[in-house]
Amino acid sequence: MSNLLEPTLYVIKGIAILDNDGNRIVAKYYDPHCFSSVKEEKKFEKNLFQKTHRANAEITMLDKLTCVYRSNVDLFFYVMGSSHENELILLCVLTCLYDAVSLILRKNVEKKTLLENLDIILLAIDEICDGGVPLETDPQVIAQRVALRMEETPFNDQTVSQVLQTAREQLKWSLLK
Amino acid sequence: MIGSFKQLKKDEEEGGGNPYYSADKTSVLQEARVFNETPVNVKRSTHVLTKILYLLNQGEILATKEATDAFFAMTKLFQSNDLVLRRLVYLGIKELCNIAEDTIIVTSSLTKDMTGREDQYRAPAIRALCRITDATMMQSIERYMKQAIVDRTTGVSSAALVSCRHIMTQSPEVVKRWVSEVQEALSSDNVMVQFHALGVLHQIRKSDKLAVTKMITKLTTSGLRSPYAICFLIRVVAQLIEEDEASSDSRLFDFLESMLRHKAEMVIYEAANAIVTLKKSSSRELVSGISVLQLFLSSPKPTLRFAAVRTLGKVAMYQPSAVAACNLDLETLLQDVNRSIATLAITTLLKTGTEGSVDRLMKSISNFLNDISDEFKVFVVE
């Protein structure tokens, strides 16, 4: 009918974390019409990786999807939306994904630590997006909700506010880096 | 800890740094037997469940029987109160519920968690429960859903609202009865709750134009806090302006224009995009929309430049003269490190340029074309 954007909660088409060979570590696609099979998805991921792994340019278009991305050491983070979507909303989701992961991995954003904490990372992605709807975009809230493992958390008997304080400091550090 | 670390090290040598590399379907499903141990072996169960989720994520396809077996084994893990393990079980339920049979077996466990005292369980339990529940069963949990929508814990409220929205795709009727709760949630201070509530409310009212108009009148004057909700509202307003046959309501345009001065960039962009796309915008409104986008063209943020140039390219199709004011900024973008932005700038310039400048452009494109992908070439030729 027109070029106007449909008012919708379903903003996100996909979220992916790839390694530095372009292989999938985690990927979720929320629109069944987007890709017909896992094979298609992986083909898309390979192309996306080819296109983005050297250019650190934050945003690109591929197969009628707008993809915002970010990388660190050997990990590549992607958030996909339709080519008509408000790119700045997608970027907020990506920033949340990246910051939540670095909070969870305590700044060691690399493949090895990510895989060691894969359970928590899967939970975090589930907290960021529910079936294509952005559920939460505050990385500290995400980190809090996925409840880091007790045996590993140094702040066992701290109050919530103290935990938040620590999280905030960590975030500050990651920004200063 | 040390034991599992050694295990990781060993796997790593075989699988190029990936401890899950060696996981194969048959052996992992065998390992799932550990779920049946009493008391629950938290550490091993967590590891095996993560492996199952990893395999599903890699695209491994389970047969109905395999999925059902894994699902039933997983239900045993409800005996453990380990936070992470329980959350992984919710995730497993959601991943397997479309393949496995008789998944309603977990309804009572999930209802218990959703109404229980542990806040960390409630929100994800609601989301998992709504995934396995159909419209007829929804009535049995209706009371809890209504409470959850207006819950003071924002995560719970968001989870309930988003689940409502999913349910409405299949069966819109049930959720319509909860409209007063959804409305209450709309006044939440939390940015996400407000966004989700507006999404559900709009879905309920969508087919009733009078109700949509009323909703807009209220929201455009009272003001929403959440930038996500405002972006949503802008789209609803734009739709209403477009569909209105009669002379357009100037108050609606005033609202769009006022949003160009919002402090959040995502709102400013959304408003500018709506204004320049609407055919009913006056030339004055069009100019203010385009000048905002023009400012974005020189932003240090690639995403902002990308969004602006993409939208201007769209407008250039039917209003080339209005976009021509940005030609200088667009030409600067030809050197942009982000090739997507540079390409979009070229396509836009080709539409707005005069004969002389197009000639010049063609020359600069010729050495540029080798650089860009085929997909973009098609885009340029169009």
| Residues B275-313: tens digit of each pLDDT | 999 988 888 999 999 999 999 999 999 999 999 999 999
Q: Do A147 and B8 touch (CB under 8 A)?
A: no
Which chain A residue is nearest to residue B337, measuring alpha carbons?
Answer: A57
Name which of A105-119, B8-22, B302-316, B335-349 the model is least confident about: B8-22
Which chain A residue is nearest to residue B7, measuring alpha carbons?
Answer: A116
Which chain B residue is nearest to residue A89, measuring alpha carbons?
Answer: B266
CA distance B244 to A176: 51
Confidence label for B373 from pLDDT (cuts 50, 70 and 90)? low
Q: For residue B339, how many other CB atoms are within 10 A of its CB?
A: 17
CA distance B157 to B143: 14
Q: Is the pLDDT of residue B208 over 60?
A: yes
Mean pLDDT of A141-168: 65
From its phi and psi, is residue B153 left (phi > 0), alpha (psi between -120 and 50) or beta? beta
pLDDT of residue A136: 97
């969508």: which residue's tokens? B206
Please give the structure tokens belonging to residue B219: 């929201």
Optimal mutation site among A30, A44, A58, interface B, most CBs of chain B within 10 A: A58
Task: Single out the residue of B281, B213, B336, B196 nearest to residue A129, CA to CA.
Answer: B196
Which chain B residue is nearest to residue A55, measuring alpha carbons?
Answer: B338
- CB B256, CB B237: distance < 8 Å: yes
Q: Which of A86, A118, A149 sits opposite B266 (nearest CB)?
A: A86
Q: Do A131 and B278 touch (CB under 8 A)?
A: no
- CB A31, CB A10: distance < 8 Å: yes
Q: For residue A105, how many other CB atoms are within 10 A of its CB?
A: 19
Q: Find chain A residues with C-beta within 8 A of B88's C-beta.
A: 119, 122-123
Q: Do B273 and A61 touch (CB under 8 A)?
A: no
- What is the complex's ipTM, to 2 decimals? 0.89
Q: Find chain A residues with C-beta within 8 A of B159's C-beta.
A: 130, 135
Q: Do B373 and A146 touch (CB under 8 A)?
A: no
- Whether B15 contacts chain A with CB within 8 A: no
Q: Is the pLDDT of residue B11 over 70?
A: no
Confidence label for B274 from pLDDT (cuts 50, 70 and 90)? very high
Confidence label for A162 from pLDDT (cuts 50, 70 and 90)? low
Please give the structure tokens belonging to residue B105: 């077996």
- CB B275, CB B285: distance < 8 Å: yes
């992984």: which residue's tokens? B88
Reported residue count of chain B is 382
- CB A82, CB A11: distance < 8 Å: no
pLDDT of residue B223: 83
Name which of A8-22, A51-65, B166-180, B244-258 the model is least confident about: B244-258
Confidence label for B74 from pLDDT (cuts 50, 70 and 90)? very high
Q: Which of B57, B94, B235 sits opposite A7 (nearest CB)?
A: B235
A1–chain B nearest CA distance, Å: 10
Q: Which of A41, A57, A90 sits opposite B338 (nearest CB)?
A: A57
Confidence label for B4 from pLDDT (cuts 50, 70 and 90)? low
From its phi and psi, is residue B335 left (phi > 0), alpha (psi between -120 and 50) or beta? alpha
Dump pLDDT digits (tens) for B112-154: 999 998 888 999 999 999 999 877 788 888 999 999 999 999 9
Q: How many helices (H) and strands (E) does chain B have?
A: 23, 0
pLDDT of residue B206: 92
pTM equals 0.88
Specify the amino acid at residue B178: W
pLDDT of residue B14: 47
Give percent of chain B with pLDDT exceeding 90.
63
Q: Do B83 and A147 touch (CB under 8 A)?
A: yes
Optimal mutation site among B5, B51, B57, B207, interface A, most CBs of chain A within 10 A: B57
What is the pLDDT of chain B when averaged over all its residues?
87
